[in-house]
Amino acid sequence: MNVYRTHEGLHHAFRDVLNFYYPDCIDVRTGGYVAQLDEREGYVYDSRSKHLVATARAVNNFSLGTLADGPEWCRTAAEHGLRFLSTVHWDPEQRGYDWLLDGRVPVDRTRYCYGHAFALLAGARAHQAEIPGGREELDRVFEVLEERFFEPDHGLYADRASPDWSELSSYRGANANMHTLEALLAAGEVTGEEHFFDRAYTVAERFARELAAETDGLLWEHYTDSWAHDLSYNEDEPDHQFRPPGYQPGHHAEWAKLLCLLAEHREEKWLLTRAMELFDAAMDLGWDDQYEGLYYTVESSGKPIVDDKYGWAHAEAIGASALLARHDTTYLEWYDRLWEYATTHLINPRYGNWYERLTREGELPEPDHGPEVEPGYHPITNCWLAMERLDREEGTLMAGE
């Protein structure tokens, strides 16, 4: 049997990623985290850059470590990061979170909904782990998201604003809304307050039903400020790091996971139906039958645009298949297949961290040593999610055959 169908196997993978980052990630000089670790050898290649998303994700990670009865240092590490997020990243004058710091000095104060979404997630998970200040952070970020980013006429969130909030970008995107949905679900689960689920439902319905209906059920990433599909966006930059053209199988799986989570709090049957449709689309269009693994971006026909394989996409598909398997055990086949690919290609055999990106054939390219890093949030979150649901179901989550 796949060892990752057991609590012990999942906890081992979860713990390995935490151990890769701790203690080197704790910046005792300037505060916050050092998130820029070389994914192959583990050395620090940039000790100065403090990226909002990396900070918030690491708070999430160590809070989940606390919830999963991890080492005692998980709690102190989460407290350490939350203090930095709530004081140094936070701009009290403009009431928003700074995007990028050099040590403690802001170098990019652009207000990104994406970054604020992860700050909300960090506050929610810290509150769940009873980290002091978690609830206060949750409430503060939600207020900013509602006042500055949410567009009532569209039922969705804008993407970014200038540092003083005077200018709002005309770009609208799926990614910021997807992660805001994720954070809203976490906030609802840890507080029990329905207004978080109400807002999450609005976002999910607008994207997964209404907007997707215009693209044959698939989820496009890029939109105009009136929320019209911008189908030509970045078509001349197929390798764009953060906003590539095409459909992303990994995001289809991630939306499927989030719809499953929302379905635990809403009775509308379309949520699970769409979750299955989106996951099936991710695998039908994105799975590489020759070399295994999920392509990064594809055309609506399934023809790959960028055939690289990203670790985050497979971690999200693992989480989605674990949740879907509670409703249809045939999804266990994908759960096992995804874990097999991850353990063979994506997980560093020396440290247990996950590689960011592979070539189509499964080779490691030269590492990207930029400030935007993924500090293990995707595998940690999805291992924790599977463990938590397995415990809730008394070990039956992935026992079916």
Helical spans, DSSP H, in 103-248: 113-128, 134-144, 174-191, 194-204
Q: Compute φ and ψ for 135, nearest 5 degrees.
A: -65, -40
CB 229 within 8 A of CB 220: yes
CB 60 within 8 A of CB 125: yes
CA–centroid distance for 339 within its chain: 18
Given 51, 251, 252, 314, which residue is catalytic?
251
- Residue 349, judged by CB atoms within 10 A of its CB (0-12, 13-18, 19+), counts as exposed
Contacts of 251 (CB under 8 A, 6+ apart): 174, 175, 178, 219, 221, 313, 316
Q: How far apart are CA 123 and CA 59, in angstroms?
A: 8
HSE on the CB side for 72, CA within 13 Å?
Answer: 0
Q: Compute φ and ψ for 37, nearest 5 degrees.
A: -110, 135
Q: How far apart are CA 356 and CA 300, in angstroms?
A: 25
Q: How many CB atoms lie within 10 A of CB 152?
A: 8
Given 89, 116, 252, 378, which residue is catalytic?
378
Which letter, b or e, does each residue of 107-142 get, where b requires 16 or more Cβ atoms within 10 Å of its Cβ?
A: eebebbbbbbbbbbbbbbbbbbbebebbbebbebbb
Is there a catalytic annotation at residue 251?
yes
- Please give the positions annotated as active site: 251, 378
